[in-house]
Structure 1
């Protein structure tokens, strides 16, 4: 399967701004991580941008059409005083477009529900990247950057990771992708910086990242931190 992940905004267009955050930065983090997770499942993932680049909306759609992808997913952060998660397909769309979006929406909305944020629903709109793409497409709005509670979560790398995983799981279910091939001792990307710090500080040797921890190990790590 071939997918196009679109990180909304970029370059001279920051998108929505609020609470010390810019939409263009968050969308890029999410898009790259979603793509990484889908690649681990055997998908061929393309991106409209992989850095802080400005692109016209029509160029995003053209890139997806030219690549002949099976699905286009546009990643955004909302603004306007609301809260929670919502998703969009093009006005009047149905069939596979709706079915794929519904599965993805269910996975992502569940993560918002866990932290007490609203599921604002599955909607339709005449948005350029949905209108001009020739394949099934969806646009996701992951929380409100101008809402304090939403923004606090969007600043949490762990929460962003859960959103990326939920999105990738939804796409995987929609398209029947294989389970990811993960090495048993591989460190998750979201934990790598913490692992490097713990090793450099002499708190942990950095091995067995997926193993459960014993009380003896907790005592030892706390003792090393105290020293």
Structure 2
């Protein structure tokens, strides 16, 4: 079961907000603090991991209020109540949004379709009711509101959902999502008879890294791109004998040697893999960019005669920063080879796409054209042109010049670039000082790292 509802009477339980800059899992937080239960709450930026919704801990704003709204207040004794940011003294987290206030739909009420769901309801007697429903099981926000109203809640708040929904409501009530996401902040629940946990709940400083496990240092002179062709083997167009995963891998076959020719190191997914493998692999590779290759299709409800959309489309987690910059470079270069395009607003932000939200590198999913009309034939006839456009957009992002094949490169590549990338990826060496002499101690360390990690 991946849906749980539980009441926490305030005569038996107390509450605390928890800020998680150390990026601990909820299981680690539960073990560290000794809390009885915990759930995720506020929004956070999945690229920078900074808090992104109104949130106060121990009287200090982690994210200052940008608007006036209802949320959950927790006082220094751990009692939870309803209020606004103006009443916040100890802990406060705003609703995202408040759904029901005093048995009525709140002005900011908005419903969300089937997804992961994290909610807190408050009964008229002040008893908090927690609800968590995993994205694998799915629940609309309207269903969540109905569940909480059915157990007597008069005030209901929605918090961050989708893959962020996580935690435990006590023994035997651990949520078990298929995708493991680290989130920034939580609501913790403690039994009143257990030892006061407050001194260790929100440490001022994160734990220092262990000295014998340094993070790999990414050499700045070598750029790395993770190429992720579609693993959707059933999407296609029978008329043109088109299979999405096959075509995207053929395009990748052109991209990879071209990037290598420009001194860019690449890593490619296994076409028979899945995102639970691909995303950690991209992150371990220390990619500078993550490029996912796909083709598009109309809704199945649209008649074939009306499937006329053409042109490239890009998806990003948010249309801002480095990912937005890379997506616009892709659209710029694709426009040059797709004068027929009738798509508009072709950089689309979608926070529910795992491949753009959970990769460390700026990630873009590009759908090169539609495959359920004549676009399939165009893709087949233009594999090399598409690859060249994506290579040029990648080089543009890096500030590198595209070198024609008869033009001599201005910056030579190194014979050891590939093996250096392998050593970094496998945590054998940090890639620095590639042409310096190694001491005996450094050789011992590399041999030790090899034995430990390979």
TM-score greater than 0.5 by the shorter chain: yes
Moved more, 92-101 or 18-27: 92-101
Structure 2 distance, partners of 1:25, 1:93, is 29
Map of 1:144 onto structure 2:
370
Map of 1:117 onto structure 2:
341
Q: Could you give the per-residue CA deviations for residues 66-105 of structure 1, whole angstroms, max 9, x where no partner exists?
A: 1111100000011124322111101x35211111211122
Q: Which runs of 4+ in 1 moved over 3 A?
A: 178-181
Q: Which runs of 5+ in 2 are unaligned?
A: 1-222, 299-306, 408-454
State the 1:182 CA deviation: 2.8
Structure 2 distance, partners of 1:167, 1:72, is 12
State the 1:150 CA deviation: 0.8
Map of 1:8 onto structure 2:
230
State the 1:181 CA deviation: 6.7
Q: Could you give the per-residue CA deviations for residues 115-141 of structure 1, whole angstroms, max 9, x where no partner exists?
A: x23344111122111111011010000
Alignment of 1:98-109 (within 5 A): 98-109=324-335
In proportion to residue count, which structure has more helix?
Answer: 1
In proportion to residue count, which structure has more strand?
Answer: 2
Map of 1:173 onto structure 2:
396
Structure 1 distance, partners of 2:390, 2:331, is 8
Q: Alignment partner of 1:173: what SS?
A: helix
Aligned pair count reads: 172
Structure 1 distance, partners of 2:357, 2:365, is 11
Q: 1:72 to 1:41 in 2, by over 3 A?
A: same
**Structure 2 residue 315 is matched with structure 1 residue 97:** no
State the 1:163 CA deviation: 0.9
Map of 1:153 onto structure 2:
378
Map of 2:246 onto structure 1:
25
- The two structures have a TM-score, normalised by structure 2, of 0.36
Q: Which has the higher contact order (CA 8 A, sep 6+)?
A: 1
Structure 2 distance, partners of 1:140, 1:44, is 20
1:76 to 255, 270, 294: 294
Q: Could you give the per-residue CA deviations for residues 16-58 of structure 1, whole angstroms, max 9, x where no partner exists?
A: 2113200011110112211221111110111113xxx311112
The answer (yes or no) to whether the contact 2:319–2:348 under 8 Å persists in 1 is no
- The two structures have a TM-score, normalised by structure 1, of 0.70
- CA RMSD across the alignment: 1.7
